[in-house]
Amino acid sequence: MGEIQDVDILGDDDVVRVRQAVRALAVSAGLSLVDQTKMVTAASELARNTQTYGGGGSARLELVVEPARSGVRATFTDTGPGIPDVDVAMADGYTSGSGLGLGLSGARRLVDAFEIDSEVGRGTTVVITKWSR
């Protein structure tokens, strides 16, 4: 059982709030400095997506404690337009320069577990997890 924090993502400063909260959890989970940075960066990308593409939403941040390891889990939810083709959005890497593509595929590379569920007209939910080693 770990701590759970819910953060509403509406404005720019909320993205910063998410970064700081994830950093604190990553420290509690005992992640190395590099892993902390990766997780915070991934969370920043996704929080921004939620704000700008999703039209605002929320993040649920958790410290996950297991017998052999601890980790940080961040779930980003919005009821925005949804992503028409997730595969394309994720493969659409930095070369296209599109903000959304970079955010998703980049974030996935930075974390240990990445799940995305999105439907046009319903919204998007992304869950990322990073574990201590």
> Which residues of the shown chain bind other proteins in the complex (CB under 8 A)?
12-13, 15-16, 19-20, 23, 33-34, 36-38, 40-41, 44-45, 48, 93-94, 99, 102-103, 105-106, 109-110
The token pair that represents 82 in the structure block = 């949804």
Judge contact between 70 and 63, C-beta under 8 A: yes
Nearer to other proteins, 22 or 83 (CB): 22
Q: Which is nearer to other proteins, 94 or 122 (CB)?
A: 94
What's the min distance (Å) between Cβ of 117 and other proteins? Answer: 22
Return the number of the residue (27 or 120) whose C-beta is nearest other proteins: 27
Residue placing its CB nearer to other proteins in the complex, 15 or 116: 15
- Rounded Cα gap, residues 133 and 116, in angstroms: 24
Spatial CB neighbours of 57, under 8 Å, sequence gap ≥ 6: 9, 50, 51, 76, 77, 78, 79, 80, 123
In the complex, the smallest distance separating the C-beta of residue 122 from other proteins, rounded to whole angstroms, is: 26
Q: How many residues does the chain have?
A: 133
In angstroms, what is the minimal distance from the CB of 14 to other proteins?
A: 9
Distance (Å, rounded) from C-alpha 16 to C-alpha 70?
A: 23
